[in-house]
Amino acid sequence: MFDWIDRRIAALCCLAPGDLSRLGPFFVLYAILFAALTMADGMALTLFLGRVGADRLPLSYGLTAIGSMVAVGAYLRMARHRSAPGVFQSILIGVSGVFLISWAAGLGLLGDAPGRAAPAVFFAAREIALVLVLAHFGTFLQEYFTRVDLNRILPIVYAGGRFGGLAGGAMLEHLGPALGVLQLAPVISTLMLAGAFVVAILAKRLPPAPDDPITPVSDSANASGGLARSPLFRCLVLSSGLFMIVRWFLNYEYNHFFEHHFSSEAELAAFLGWYTQWALLASFVVQLFVVNRLVRSAGLRGAVALTVVLLLIGMGRNLWELTLLAAVWSRLLETELRFGLRNPINQLVTNQFSRPDRLRVRAWTLGALNPVAALIGSIALGTLQLTGLSSWIPPFGFALALLHALASLALIRHLQDPASASPTPHPSRAPRIVSRARFAQSSRIV
């Protein structure tokens, strides 16, 4: 009976038989982490808009970017000397400690100045935590899955984040108004410590993955020793950097609307909790059932093109006066669809590099490029504000989205989708045990 259920679910999610039992613990880990990160996002946003104000967002973006650069620099140094599980535990324990200290500051236990700074610290800490978790989780997975495995299981494992986000949204909606938004910080800290405990268990019980059984995508620039010479890498850096700048324009626009639309912290926290649950449910369905099928039917190039079109639609709508529906669509693009659709597709782009280069690509894009893009976005938004050109923010953001579309077209030209592939055998007709190499040959995602 269990084997039949396993085959049915594997067919539904485009997995090989046996994948579910292997990816299950990582799905649970990612769910725990994103339950914490979702609560942190809603809590930080609510406290910042309620106690600081949306007009200070550009400055906060810049400070967050600088903090991210420092954190990523420390992360890269630590990653060279410690194991992937050990680094992950350090990240999660460190984030937990920052949230506890900021909670104490917010309560006024550390003095007036730290108390006033607490909302800004929460805002920056939740973004830095997200950058570090996203940057390292793929590296952590790489320790236990080969390239062939990752191409199949990545969208499903990352769907665990959407599942955990549903729980985090529910806690934000109900616990925030009941306990007070600030009192969510110890809950977030506890979940981060739980994630560190799960990482320790997985590191102790699971064997490392063997070397990749297939040859990496041919790239003469990579082979000659230098990512900077790779056209694929250069296009990825350009398109990803522009996307992250556009992301901060979206963030500013919908947050500015939320600040004036909601009258209290409790009202905003309850709305964000309610919205997050439905948005993450949609994102969960997309990531679990759509991403693999989209890549297999339209190819990786078609999947990347879809994310570009959705971003253009969102930025184009913001050229007119925002409504609640338009602001929600902007947040959906900037947050939930970024996690549920764009990030898994971007991970598949990253998987076209060799295994040693994947760590470097993730470090560049998530660790170095994203903070630089946030700093550029902060300077651009702050300049438009200070010069009295706030009305130019939407058209400027749309122009950046057009540049992102052009960069993405260049990226698409360098992606390699198989010209043809045989269909995946239906699990009901396939033998009970399917070799990884055989499954890899039948999957268009590889």
pTM of the model: 0.71
| 446 within some domain | no
- Mean pLDDT lowest for which of 89-93, 315-319, 435-439? 435-439
Burial profile 367-384: b = 16 or more Cβ within 10 angstroms, e = fewer: bbbbbebbbbbbebbbeb
| 278 within some domain | yes
Name the band, by pLDDT with cuts 50, 70 and 90, for residue 113.
confident
Residue the block writes with tokens 């439905």: 278
Name the band, by pLDDT with cuts 50, 70 and 90, for residue 221.
very low
Q: d(Cα 233, Cα 218) in Å, to the nearest integer? A: 13
Q: What percent of the chain has pLDDT over 90?
A: 28
Q: Give tens-digit pLDDT for 32-76.
A: 999 999 999 989 988 998 888 888 888 888 888 888 888 888 888
Residue 345 has pLDDT above 50, yes or no: yes
| 337 within some domain | yes
| 154 within some domain | yes
Residue range(s) defining the domain that contains residue 253: 16-208+224-417
Residue 227 has pLDDT above 60, yes or no: yes
Over range 213-233, report the average pLDDT: 58
The pLDDT of residue 115: 86
The pLDDT of residue 384: 92
The pLDDT of residue 337: 83
Name residues whose C-beta falls within 8 Å of residue 105's C-beta, 6 or more positions apart in sequence. Answer: 111, 114, 115, 117, 118, 121
Helix, strand, or coil (residue 398): helix
DSSP string, 359-388: HHHHIIIIIIIHHHHHHHHHHHHHHHHHTT
* Helices vs strands, H then E, count in the chain: 18, 0
| 432 within some domain | no
The pLDDT of residue 211: 59
Name residues whose C-beta falls within 8 Å of residue 121's C-beta, 6 or more positions apart in sequence. Answer: 98, 102, 105
The pLDDT of residue 420: 36
Residue 313 has pLDDT above 70, yes or no: yes
The pLDDT of residue 6: 54
Q: CA dist 111 to 9, 104, 106, 115, 121, Å?
A: 54, 10, 9, 6, 15
| 31 within some domain | yes
Q: Give tens-digit pLDDT for 239-274.
A: 989 999 999 899 999 988 998 888 787 888 888 888
Nearest to 127 by CA among 280, 251, 281, 239: 251
Token code pair at residue 429? 């007709």
Q: CA dist 287 to 161, 177, 295, 382, Å?
A: 10, 30, 11, 35
Name the band, by pLDDT with cuts 50, 70 and 90, for residue 188.
very high
Selected residue with higher pLDDT from 436 and 37: 37
| 443 within some domain | no
Residue 367 has pLDDT above 70, yes or no: no
Contact 181/175 with Cβ under 8 angstroms? no
The pLDDT of residue 437: 39
Query: Could you count the other beta carbons within 10 Å of the beta carbon of residue 309?
Result: 11
CATH number of the domain residue 127 falls in = 1.20.1250.20
- Mean pLDDT lowest for which of 315-324, 338-347, 401-410? 338-347
| 265 within some domain | yes
Q: Give tens-digit pLDDT for 164-173.
A: 888 888 898 8
Contact 350/358 with Cβ under 8 angstroms? yes
Q: Give tens-digit pLDDT for 173-185.
A: 888 888 888 999 9
Q: For the chain, what is the mean pLDDT?
A: 80
Over range 73-88, report the average pLDDT: 87
The pLDDT of residue 1: 47
Selected residue with higher pLDDT from 225 and 307: 307
| Number of domains the chain is built from | 1
